[in-house]
Amino acid sequence: MGAQMRVYRQRIRSVQATKKITRAMELIAASRVVKAQQRVRESSPYARALTRAVSAVATFSNVDHPLTTESEEVRRAAVLVVTSDRGLAGAYSSSVLKESERLIGELKADGKEVTPFLVGRKAVAFYKFRKREYADEWTGFTDQPTFEVAREIGETLVAAFNRDHSEGGVDEVHIVFTRFVNMVSQEPDVIRMLPLEVVEGEEAPAEDDVLPLYEFEPSAEQVLDALLPKYVTARIYNCLLQAAASELASRQKAMKSATDNAEELIKKYTRLANQARQAEITQEISEIVGGASALADAS
């Protein structure tokens, strides 16, 4: 076998192995993304009940809560960046990081200090490589976030928000995550988490669905006190779940195109290998013919 042909055969084998891997990753992501979407849906009754309760308290009492009050002077802002733990998901992590860089640039231009909080190994690697400071990190769960993690993040952020500026507290909290629009499109998005603006979920209440005059037990202040941190946690949990679904969807997409590219490469190398084989045969024949006619001429 000619040297040229051996090289092509080797390439084909290696691309075939890669294709098997990317195909497997594509299938795994495809099955997980369905579960991730289901988790987003399953968390919505909780979020809806909480949102409704919070807006009921907000509507019927004029309670000012520290978590809803705008700080007069915003000197420091926290940014929670939600990326993935693993790569091979196309531009998923890098587009979130790009969005966060833009946001941080804007905040700095407004004269605010920025304290980053990171979710996912990719964000941590990004900050470590650039030797930048960050406040806290959470890793190791991004394709399957649990509510406990969301609660931990929520508690940390609320604590940072409640701390005084001189002790490293922040006056604003932003979240950069990837919104899951549908299977083909996921968009990096920024929301301002704190101070809270209570927003009704996607489904606005119907016209005749007036919030009743609630009694509060023990009191409106205490109910709000108990509800708001939960509300923050539920929003963060929702962000994490959407980010997980987006991560898996973009991994599926990236791996699909990797598999397609591998197929394309295999086809190309097979053609080249065939060509090389054919060239070798032609050469052999002409050598034999040449040799035979040389012998004939000699005798």
Residues that bind other proteins (CB under 8 A): 39, 42-43, 45-46, 49-50, 52-53, 56-57, 147, 151, 212-218, 222-223, 226-227, 230, 233-234, 237
Which residue lies nearer to other proteins by CB, 193 or 236? 236
Which residue lies nearer to other proteins by CB, 42 or 287? 42
| Smallest distance, other proteins to C-beta of residue 190, A | 24
Residue (of 176, 179, 180) closest to 100 by Cα position: 176
Residue (of 196, 155, 150) closest to 173 by Cα position: 196
| Smallest distance, other proteins to C-beta of residue 86, A | 23
Q: Which residue in the block uniquely carries the two structure tokens 């988490």?
A: 193
Measured in degrees and rounded to the nearest 5, phi and psi for residue 75 equal: -105, -30
In angstroms, rounded to a whole number, what is the distance separating the alpha carbons of residues 39 and 155? 22
Which residue lies nearer to other proteins by CB, 198 or 285? 198
Q: Which residue in the block uniquely carries the two structure tokens 């940390």?
A: 156
Which residue lies nearer to other proteins by CB, 57 or 258? 57
Contact 155, 138 (CB under 8 A): no
Which residue lies nearer to other proteins by CB, 89 or 241? 241
Length of the chain: 299
Which residue lies nearer to other proteins by CB, 11 or 230? 230
| Smallest distance, other proteins to C-beta of residue 187, A | 24
Which residue lies nearer to other proteins by CB, 84 or 233? 233
| Smallest distance, other proteins to C-beta of residue 41, A | 10
| Smallest distance, other proteins to C-beta of residue 60, A | 9
| Smallest distance, other proteins to C-beta of residue 88, A | 27
* CA distances in angstroms from 221 to 57, 218, 227, 228, listed in the order given: 9, 9, 10, 11
Measured in degrees and rounded to the nearest 5, phi and psi for residue 292 equal: -60, -45
Residue (of 83, 63, 71, 99) closest to 222 by Cα position: 63
Q: Which residue in the block uniquely carries the two structure tokens 């002077």?
A: 73
The CA-based dihedral angle spanning residues 120, 123, 124, 129, taken in that order and rounded to the nearest 10 degrees = 150
| Smallest distance, other proteins to C-beta of residue 252, A | 23
